[in-house]
Amino acid sequence: MGKPLSMDLRSRALAAVDEGMSCRAAARRFGVAAATVIRWQDQRRMTGGYAPKARGGDTRSRRIEA
């Protein structure tokens, strides 16, 4: 998997949507998938933020302790 897209790109794409551009048009303009911009907007609507979620980490020890 690649790295999460930058916060700058996320904020610029969402700013374009806030100014009236559609999610699909903003996605074309910034070179990302339309579903990505829609997902960022949904995340912002639900949580108030659009930062990337945590990735990786220790998933094994929880299973062993149980």
Q: What is the mean pLDDT of the chain?
A: 90
The verdict on pTM exceeding 0.85 is: no
Tens digit of each residue's pLDDT (9 = 90 or more) over 36-55: 999 999 999 999 999 998 88
What is the DSSP code string of 3-28?
PPPPHHHHHHHHHHHHTT--HHHHHH
> What pLDDT is stored for residue 58 in this prediction?
75
The structural domains of the chain, ordered by start, are 1-48 (1.10.10)
Residue 19: count of CB within 10 angstroms of its CB: 8
